[in-house]
C-alpha cells in the first residue's frame, strides 16, 4: 500500500523512481489545443437525421480515430456523482483500500499505482482502480464496499455508459454495412471501468500520468470532467483535448481499427 501515491502524505519532491529519462520528460512544453476534434451532438439536429449522424461518426472515426459526444443522454448529475465518488475512494485512508491493492493482473478488481510497478524501471504518476462492469449482477459484489454509495453510483453509471456505447457501436456498424447488432453479441460482452487518479505532483515536468498508448478494445468512453491532460497524437504532433462540459471522449480501439475503413486513423492516447 505504500506504493499508492494517493496514500502518501504530500510529497515535496518527485521520488527518483518516478522521474522519466530526460528524452521522455514533458518538461515545460505547452501543447496546442486540438480545436478541430469532431464534436457530435447526439441531441441536436442529428437526432432526426440518422443517415447524417452515421456519416459524421464514420468520418470522425476514419479521419481522427477520436471524437467528443455531447447531449448523449447520460445525466449531468450521474456524471458528476461518479467523478465525485471516484475521488472519495482515492481520498480514503490506506487501510480502506488495502484489501484491493494488487500487482496481479489476473485479480478482477484491483487498485494499483503506475502500470507494472514491480517490473518497470520508471513509474507513472497515477493510481488506478479497475474492475469489470458487465453483467452487473455478476461483478458488483467484488467492487469496493467503501465509499458506501460507490456500488450504487458506479452501477447506474456503467449501465448508462453501456447503453450509450452500444448505440454508438450500432451506428458504426450501420456505417460499415454490417447487420444490426453486430457488435452487441460476443464482441461487447466485456465492459471495464478504469478510474485513473492523478494526485498533485510537485514537479509535473519530470513525470507523466501514463505513457503514449492505443486502446486494445473496441471503443473507450473517456469522462474527463474538468481535468486537462488528455493528449492525442495526430499528424506528427501531440495535441491537447479541451474538456467540454458533460461530454464523453470516444476513442476507437485497435479491435475496430483493424477494419479497412478505419485503417487510416492515426490518433492515439
CA pair distance 28, 36, nearest whole angstrom: 24
Cα dihedral sign, 162-168-169-174: positive
Give the closest residue to 128 by CA, choosing from 95, 158, 90: 90
- pLDDT grade for 184, boundaries at 50, 70 and 90: confident
Task: Write down the residue that cell numbers 452500444 correspond to.
Answer: 166
- pLDDT grade for 269, boundaries at 50, 70 and 90: very low
Mean pLDDT of the chain: 90
Task: Look at residue 163 and tell me whether its pLDDT is greater than 60.
Answer: yes
Task: Look at residue 164 and tell me whether its pLDDT is greater than 50.
Answer: yes
- pLDDT grade for 265, boundaries at 50, 70 and 90: very low
Per-residue pLDDT tens digits for 28-64: 877 778 878 899 999 877 778 999 999 999 999 988 8
Task: Look at residue 260 and tell me whether its pLDDT is greater than 70.
Answer: no
Amino acid at each position: 500500500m505504500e506504493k499508492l501515491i494517493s496514500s502518501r502524505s504530500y510529497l515535496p519532491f518527485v521520488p527518483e523512481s518516478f522521474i522519466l529519462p530526460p528524452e521522455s520528460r514533458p518538461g515545460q512544453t505547452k501543447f496546442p489545443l486540438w480545436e478541430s476534434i469532431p464534436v457530435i451532438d447526439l441531441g441536436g439536429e442529428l437526432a432526426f437525421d440518422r443517415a447524417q449522424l452515421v456519416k459524421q461518426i464514420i468520418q470522425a472515426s476514419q479521419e481522427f480515430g477520436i471524437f467528443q459526444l455531447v447531449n448523449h443522454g447520460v445525466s449531468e448529475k450521474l456524471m458528476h456523482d461518479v467523478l465525485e465518488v471516484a475521488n472519495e475512494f482515492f481520498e480514503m485512508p490506506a487501510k480502506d483500500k488495502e484489501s484491493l491493492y494488487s500487482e496481479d493482473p489476473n485479480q478482477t478488481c484491483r487498485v494499483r499505482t503506475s502500470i507494472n510497478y514491480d517490473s518497470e524501471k520508471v513509474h507513472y504518476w497515477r493510481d488506478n482502480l479497475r474492475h469489470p462492469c458487465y453483467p452487473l449482477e455478476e461483478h458488483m459484489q467484488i467492487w469496493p464496499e467503501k465509499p458506501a454509495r460507490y456500488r450504487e453510483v458506479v452501477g447506474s453509471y456503467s449501465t448508462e455508459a453501456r447503453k450509450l456505447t452500444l448505440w454508438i457501436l450500432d451506428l458504426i456498424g450501420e456505417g460499415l454495412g454490417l447487420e444490426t447488432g453486430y457488435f452487441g453479441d460476443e464482441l461487447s460482452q466485456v465492459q471495464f471501468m478504469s478510474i485513473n487518479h492523478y494526485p498533485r505532483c510537485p514537479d509535473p515536468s519530470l513525470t507523466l500520468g501514463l505513457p503514449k498508448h492505443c486502446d486494445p478494445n473496441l471503443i473507450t468512453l473517456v469522462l474527463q470532467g474538468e481535468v486537462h491532460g488528455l493528449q492525442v497524437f495526430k499528424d506528427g504532433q501531440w495535441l491537447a483535448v479541451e474538456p467540454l462540459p458533460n461530454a464523453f471522449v470516444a476513442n476507437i480501439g485497435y479491435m475496430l481499427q483493424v477494419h479497412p475503413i478505419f485503417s487510416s486513423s492515426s490518433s492515439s492516447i
